[in-house]
Structure 1
Amino acid sequence: MDIKTASALHRLRLISVPEALSFPALLIFGSLLKRTTDIDYLMMPLGILHGILFVIYSVFLLDVWNRAKWPVKKVALFFLLALVPFGGLYGDKLLKRDEADSVVAARAREAARA
């Protein structure tokens, strides 16, 4: 795996957790505040923040798909995980495992060369 592919995977990992937490933490919390108090002005900024995180996640996912040559099923899985509350946490776990496997494979290649 080259450095650009590894960094694309790392970027996707970094954004997956905030995106996973943004739906339940921001939108559900804001919705509860709107319905239980007179604070209804928070929904638009919280929704925009969640939307920005989702768009960044989607762009990073497309970048990983392009660089890592993932199959369509794997990309669809990660996209669906972004739609499920806390799904990105499972996606982060999968990405961490892929990242560790690629490090082991790179070290094995280096050892074979030496």
Structure 2
Amino acid sequence: MIVAALLFLGIFFFAIGAIGILRFPDFYSRLHAAGKCDALASTLALIAIALFNVRDFDWTLFQSWDNLRVSLKILLIILFVYVATPAATHAITKAAFIVGIEPWEKRKRNR
């Protein structure tokens, strides 16, 4: 039940990120939506996979220890995602700024 809820939350945040990419007005806000939502969604999905992998953990079985090792590796992947996603979005944003892509500004209407 918890695994299914985490997977559905992950899918929900992936969908929200996709909608943000389509709806936001400029490159920088689109990248922000993609970076934040994808990091959270992939974390939720990976936690669900790790929990599903150790659902029948037994201290006496060797196979259970292999499943535990796989789940620990998945947790390391989550750590990597949390380190790599902000660094990648920052590098892409800085490159776009150097190239000269202007941020969007809301203009006031003349009345």
Higher relative contact order (CA 8 A, sep 6+): 1
Query: TM-score of the superposition, structure 1-length normalised?
Result: 0.41
Structure with the bigger percentage of helix:
1
Pick the structure with greater CA Rg.
2
